[in-house]
A = this chain, B = another copy of it.
């Protein structure tokens, strides 16, 4: 889909290596975007701004990241990978070893924290285009994990219920709870965990 550092060709395989200027520009763009987003807020930065700040043409920006959402995806990549690692091989209850229900609760909590910490960026990555949320590589990962845990607990229709759960964790919805309804993050997390557990039956 969208090229990000995660999906770039890897040295040694049959795939061609990333060209030097391309690599340099990719880093420049990411650095510039992060700086601008931090100081002006995600909404206050245009793609022209990013290109100019990175000292790069707009075409380069789009060739690399596809669209504004793709840029957000790339910026989120690092944090998401960390969480994914913890889920795959970290300590329980998030990592393997705990009962599926506990792991699901731990995931909801950890994912919610990640979304909250990067709300604007996640929102951008999920809403830049209708349906974007469901098309990122990261989303496929979260879904796969939830499906597995739901199936493990003999939930009916784990695929669909994983999607329902993740729909409830969409940035748009989380932002509404947190900002518009002023819900406390911890209380919200507990309530969502309980709802997730309900979906197990």
- Determine whether A56 belongs to the interface, using a CB cutoff of 8 Å to chain B: no
- Determine whether A191 belongs to the interface, using a CB cutoff of 8 Å to chain B: yes
In the complex, chain B residues whose CB is within 8 Å of the CB of A163: 168, 173, 176-177
Q: Which A131-161 residues sit within 8 Å CB-CB of chain B?
A: 131, 133-134, 156-157, 160-161
**Binary B-proximity of A117-137 (CB < 8 A = 1, otherwise 0):** 000000100010011011000
State how many angstroms separate the Cβ of A45 from the closest Cβ of chain B. Answer: 16
- Closest B residue to A161 by CB, please name it: B195
- Determine whether A28 belongs to the interface, using a CB cutoff of 8 Å to chain B: no
Contact of A199 among B156, B160, B175, B195 (CB under 8 A): B195
In the complex, chain B residues whose CB is within 8 Å of the CB of A200: 198
In the complex, chain B residues whose CB is within 8 Å of the CB of A133: 172
State how many angstroms separate the Cβ of A196 from the closest Cβ of chain B. Answer: 9
Q: Which A167-189 residues sit within 8 Å CB-CB of chain B?
A: 167-168, 170, 172-173, 175-177, 180, 188
Please classify how large the interface on chain A is, using the bins under 10, 10 to 19, 20 to 34, 35 or more. Answer: 20 to 34
- Determine whether A47 belongs to the interface, using a CB cutoff of 8 Å to chain B: no
Given contacts A161-B195, A199-B198, contact A172 B123 (CB under 8 A): no
The reply to whether B127 and A130 contact each other, CB–CB distance below 8 Å, is yes
In the complex, chain B residues whose CB is within 8 Å of the CB of A130: 123, 127, 172
Docked Cα-Cα span, A157 to B180, in Å, equals 17
- Determine whether A98 belongs to the interface, using a CB cutoff of 8 Å to chain B: no
Docked Cα-Cα span, A25 to B170, in Å, equals 38
- Determine whether A192 belongs to the interface, using a CB cutoff of 8 Å to chain B: yes
In the complex, chain B residues whose CB is within 8 Å of the CB of A177: 160, 163
Known: A156-B194, A164-B192. 8 other contacts (CB 8 A): A127-B130, A156-B191, A160-B188, A160-B191, A160-B192, A164-B168, A167-B168, A167-B173
